[in-house]
Structure 1
Amino acid sequence: MIDPRVASGLRDLLPAVMIPRERILRTFRETFASFGFVPIETPHIERMEVLTGKGAGSEEVLRQIFEVTNKGGTPGELALRFDLTVPLARFVARHIDEIGVPFKRYAVGSVFRGERPAKGRFREFVQCDFDTIGTDSRLADAETALVIYSALTAAEVPRFTIALNDRKILDGALEALGLDGKTGLVLRSLDKLNKIGRDGVHAELARPAEEGGAGLSEEQAAGILDFAEGGRGRTDVLDAAEARFGANERAARGIADLRAVARLLEAGGVPADRIAIDLGLARGLDYYTGVVFETTVDGWERFGSVASGGRYDNLASLFTPRRLPGVGASIGLDRLLALMEEAGALKGAGTAAPVLIANFPGTDPGVPMRLASALRKGGIGCEIYPEPIQVGKQMGYGTKHGHKLAVIVGPDEVAGETFNLRDLETRHEDRGLAWSVLEDSVRGALEVIEHRGASS
Structure 2
Amino acid sequence: MKADGPDRGGQADGRAEALVASYERAGYRRTAPAILQPAEPFLDLSGEDIRKRMFLTATPGGDEMCLRPDLTIPVSCDYLASADRGSPANFCYLGTVFRHRTAGPSEFLQAGIESFGRADEAAADAEMLALGLDATMHYGLAAPAIQTGDVALFNALVDDLELAPAWKRRLVKDFNRKGNLAQDLQRLVLGGTNGRPEYQGVLAALAGSDPKGAHALVTDLLSIAGITAVGGRSVAEIADRFLEQAALGASAKLPRDVRALIERFLAIEGDPDGAATQLRALAAEAGPALAAAIARFESRTGFIEARGIDLSRVRFSSAFGRGFDYYTGFVFELTDPAREGDPLVAGGRYDGLLTRLGSAEPIPAIGLSIWIERLAVYGGAA
Give TM-score scaled by structure 2 length: 0.70
- Pairwise CA RMSD of aligned residues? 3.5
Residue equivalent to 2:47: 58
Question: What is the match of residue 289 of structure 2?
Answer: 250
- Quick one: structure 1 residues 274 and 74, their matched pair in 2 at CA, closer, same or farther if it must change by over 3 Å? farther
Tell me what 1:117 maps to: 102
Cross-structure match for 1:279: 318
Q: Is the 8 A contact 1:31 1:151 kept in 2?
A: no
Q: Which amino acid aligns with 1:83?
A: D
Letter in 2 for 1:104: N
CA distance in 2, matches of 1:81, 1:159: 31
Equivalent runs, 1:68-107 vs 2, <5 Å: 68-69=57-58, 73-95=60-82, 97-98=83-84, 101-107=87-93
Alignment of 1:34-433 (within 5 A): 34-53=25-44, 56-69=45-58, 73-95=60-82, 97-98=83-84, 101-114=87-100, 116-118=101-103, 123-137=106-120, 138-157=122-141, 159-178=143-162, 181-182=166-167, 185-186=170-171, 190-191=175-176, 202=182, 206=186, 209-210=194-195, 224-245=262-283, 247-300=286-339, 302-317=340-355, 318-337=357-376, 341=377, 345-346=378-379
In the alignment, which residue of structure 1 is the partner of 2:203?
A: none
Paired letter, 1:89: S
CA distance in 2, matches of 1:126, 1:188: 29
The structure-2 alpha-carbon separation of the partners of 1:322 and 1:178, relative to structure 1 and needing over 3 Å to count, comes to: closer
Post-superposition shift, 1:50? Answer: 3.9
CA contact (8 A) 1:307 1:329 kept: yes
User: Among the aligned pairs, what percent are the same residue?
Assistant: 23
Unaligned runs of 5+ in 2: 1-8, 197-240
Matches within 5 A, 1:430-449: none
Residues 325 and 218 (structure 1), Cα distance of their counterparts in 2 relative to 1, 3 Å cut = same
Retained in 2: the 8 A contact 1:158–1:297?
no
Q: Are the equivalent residues in 2 in contact too, given 1:187–1:282 (CA < 8 A)? A: no
Q: Which has the larger radius of gyration?
A: 1
Structure 1 residues 167, 93: closer, same or farther in 2, change over 3 A?
Answer: same
Q: Which amino acid aligns with 1:43?
A: A
Residue 19 of structure 2 aligns with an amino acid whose one-letter code is F
Cα drift, residue 117 of structure 1 = 2.3
Match of 1:7 in 2: none
The structural deviation recorded for 1:328 is: 1.1
**For the structure 1 residues 75 and 42, does the alpha-carbon distance in structure 2 shift closer, same or farther, using more than 3 Å as the test?**
same
Flag structure 1 segments of 5+ consecutive residues without an equivalent: 1-12, 353-456
Distance change (3 Å), C-alpha of 1:60 and 1:145: same
For residues 113-137 of structure 1, what are the alpha-carbon distances to aligned partners after superposition, in whole Å with 9 as ceiling and x for unaligned?
A: 23x524xx75322221102111231
Deviation at residue 192 of structure 1 after TM alignment: 5.2
Measured in 1, the distance between the counterparts of 2:62 and 2:139 equals 42
CA distance in 1, matches of 2:289, 2:343: 27
Inter-CA distance 228–31: structure 2 relative to 1 (3 Å threshold): farther
CA distance, structure 2, for counterparts of residue 231 and residue 38 of structure 1: 36
SS in 2 for 1:150: helix
Match of 1:419 in 2: none
Which one-letter code corresponds to 1:110 in the other structure? T
- CA distance 1:271–1:190, shift in 2 (3 Å): same
1:226: Cα distance to partner? Answer: 4.3
The reply on whether 1:33 has 2:20 as its aligned counterpart is no
Q: Which letter maps to 1:130?
A: I
Per the alignment, residue 453 of structure 1 pairs with: none
Greater Cα offset, 125-134 or 215-224:
215-224
Q: Residue type matched to 1:162 in 2? A: I
Q: Which amino acid in the other structure matches residue 62 of structure 1? A: R
Look up the equivalent residue of 2:55 and give its one-letter code: F
Mark the CA change 1:177 to 1:322 in structure 2 (over 3 Å): closer, same or farther. closer
AA aligned to 1:91 is D
Compute the displacement of 1:82 (Å): 1.7
Q: Which amino acid aligns with 1:280?
A: A
